[in-house]
Structure 1
Amino acid sequence: MRSSRLVEIMLRLEGSRGVTAQRLADELDVSVRTVYRDVAALSAAGVPMWTESGPGGGVRLLDGWQSKLGSMTGAETSALMLLGVPSIAEDLGLREVATAAQSKLLRALPLPLRIDAQVWRDRLYVDAPGWFNRPRDVSRLPDVAAAVLEGRRLRVSYRTGNRTATRTLDPLGLVAKAGVWYLVAQHRRHTLSYRVSRIEEVTVLDEPATRPANFDLARWWSDSVAEFDRALLRFDCRVRLSPAAWRHLPHAIGVEAARVEPGPPDDDGWFTVHLRLEAEDVARDQLTSLGSDVEVLEPQSLRRALWGVGAAMMRRNG
């Protein structure tokens, strides 16, 4: 608590000709004596500041001295305003703290930077969950987050289908994806992800968590998602695609499934490609979105399925 107050005092004094101790005390909701103690502590830490008594006096910083925070650019301060995603802060139990931190930062910044940052805060709102999603139970998230940040082990009761199992985990990080929170943790030396909404009970243990050397949360999550996507692709087919269909293929079947090398273009400029998709019914729906720019070569069952979709559309719209 005191450390944040010391930083706030330092930032409020930057670029000013001095502020009275009484005004600082009123703004920080502390006593004047506390302000003087804080000023002494900052001076002892090497911040060039002093106090002057009498009319026009107050607490001052050495002319021209700036902290690293005070030298931030407008773009940097605007970026800080984007960190306070309300839904994420609220899930973590930190909404009030995040709001207070933003307000303190705004008050401490020089006026031009304050205006730029305020514009971003007032004109951008991030609603992380998608439409029509029911609220998920994230009541255990603050305890899970505390264990992640403090590097302590967790004992959880985790629900999978109709079964609940108790596991002791070494937490490695948290991921928020489309409004869903995941705990990334090690269980018996295997790194896995767990939906926080499926954690029914959680106990933060006194034991330190084991963390693999050089573990990169973002890279692990990206690799894990790609591996999961690839594991779903089990249905093989061969198709011809027009140039337009080839360009739109990632939108139709997904980026991972579209990572294929096409054959050379034929006389019509079309490409022949081998695809691996989830299942035949999924392939039918995905390839239908390409309209007349796709021709299924094999298997014949998929070719007939697309013909059936086209015939049905003609009957209903003819």
Structure 2
Amino acid sequence: MRASRLLSLLLLLQTHGRMTAAQLAERLEVSTRTVYRDVESLHAAGIPLYGEAGHAGGYQLVDGWRTRLTGLTAEEAERLFLAGLPGPAAELGYGAVVAGLQRKLHAALPPSLADRAAQVQQRFHLDPAHWYADGDASPHLAEVAEAVWRQRRIAVRYRSWAGEVDRVLEPYGLVLKGGRWYAVANRPGRDGPATYRINQILALTSLDEEFDRPAEFDLPAWWRAHVVRFRARLHRDEATIRLSPRGRERLREIASDVVVAAAQRSAGPPDGAGWVTVVVPIESLTHAHGDLLRLGAEVEVLAPAELRARLAATAAELAARYAPRAAGTPVPD
């Protein structure tokens, strides 16, 4: 552990030039006293490292000196695919490993390429999280990742659409989609894997049972096919609706590209108030009810009749709830 930290200290100085003890301590997640001891050890090993006191001081390597000890550890090599995603790496519990990996990759580059890599890092940033959520954190994410790596079964209590269920799973892999983590896992005795959203795992126990991951299983290919199947199942019905000008704008903000394209394609001529009639695909009456409620009074459902009735009932309940009440009138349940 200490040898790895000493190498990390060297790579930080090699990459960033002069750094203070406080800066080094923050990056290495140790105390400044530990940094002082590490610097003394590097001096004793013959590393041409010197320090300057004062406000603009700090530690620095002699100009032109570079370490060639930038080989990756086995764990860093395993996490190489996460090098450009420090946020998800930290969620998986690999934050420190990926930080060390990035330092080594940067230090291994010649100065001209290192400068270009730094420029790219400052100009392009990958943020896979959704706008209206801070990620998909789960206390069980790291445990699932460990089970994936070790090929160990896990027993979970899972919140499914039908309620809470108990499952024994063989996790084949993890996928980050739209800021949400999913496990692609097989259930013993079932024919093929399915997806499980990680933050719907309510409890998890790691079992001392190994499983054989099919040699032919290709996670990226399986996920691409799964997405195609999912999208094909999404929109099996359709609804005819009227949209105000404001409703058309809002639809572009809240609906999928498929729905927006269908609305634009089917839109008839606007009436005197600017309202248009369109036909849009819907996943189900329940989903359509929730989605169209987000448009408020800027939409009117014409068909199907059941969807129109559901929205009318909800509107009546809202009107009753927000109707003016006399002083002292109890609030309805």
TM-score by length of 1: 0.54
Per-residue CA distance 1:179-203 (angstroms, 9 max, x = gap): 5432102332232112345251123
- Partner amino acid, structure 1, of 2:213: A
Q: How does 1:1-318 map to 2 (within 5 A)?
A: 83-86=84-87, 88-119=88-119, 121=121, 126=127, 128=129, 131=133, 135-138=137-140, 139-147=142-150, 152=151, 154-161=152-159, 165-169=166-170, 171-177=171-177, 179-187=179-187, 188-197=190-199, 198=201, 200-203=204-207, 205-212=209-216, 216-223=221-228, 225-226=230-231, 229-230=234-235, 237-241=239-243, 245-246=247-248, 248-255=250-257, 257-258=259-260, 260=262, 262-263=265-266, 265-266=268-269, 268=271, 270-276=276-282, 278-279=285-286, 281-288=289-296, 291=298, 294-298=299-303, 299=305, 301=309, 304=312
Q: Secondary structure at the match of 1:185?
A: strand
- Partners in 1 of 2:232 and 2:82 — Cα distance? 34
Separation in 2, partners of 1:168, 1:304 = 43
Q: Secondary structure at the match of 1:172?
A: strand
Q: After superposition, give the CA deviation of every residue in 1:230-261 in whole Å (9 maximum; x if it has no partner).
A: 4xx87x64213467755653433434555647
Contact 1:184 1:193 in 2 (8 A): yes
Unmatched tracts of structure 2, length 5 or more: 1-6, 8-13, 15-40, 47-80, 325-333
Which range is displaced more, 187-196 or 303-312? 303-312
SS for the counterpart of 1:83 is coil
**2:138 partner letter:** R
Preserved CA contact (<8 Å) 1:157 1:164: no
Contact 2:157 2:167 in 1 (8 A): no
Provide the aligned length of Structure 1 versus Structure 2.
237
RMSD: 5.0
C-alpha distance in structure 2 between counterparts of 1:166 and 1:271, whole Å: 47
- The answer on whether the counterparts of 1:157 and 1:202 sit within 8 Å (CA) in structure 2 is yes
Offset, 1:209: 1.1
* Cα separation, 2, equivalents of 1:251 and 1:240: 17
Cα deviation, 1:204-239, whole Å, max 9, x if unaligned, reads: 644421255555144045236536744xx87x6421
Query: TM-score when scaled to structure 2?
Result: 0.52
Would the aligned equivalents of 1:249 and 1:258 in 2 still touch at CA under 8 Å? yes
Once the 2 structures are TM-superposed, how far is the Cα of residue 266 of structure 1 from its aligned partner?
Answer: 3.5
Q: Cα distance, 1:174 vs. partner?
A: 0.7
Task: List gaps (5 residues or longer) in structure 1.
Answer: 6-11, 13-25, 32-79
Identity percentage of aligned residues: 20
Distance 1:278-1:253 versus aligned 2 partners, 3 A rule: farther
SS of structure 2 residue aligned to 1:146: helix
In structure 2, the residue matched to 1:50 is: none
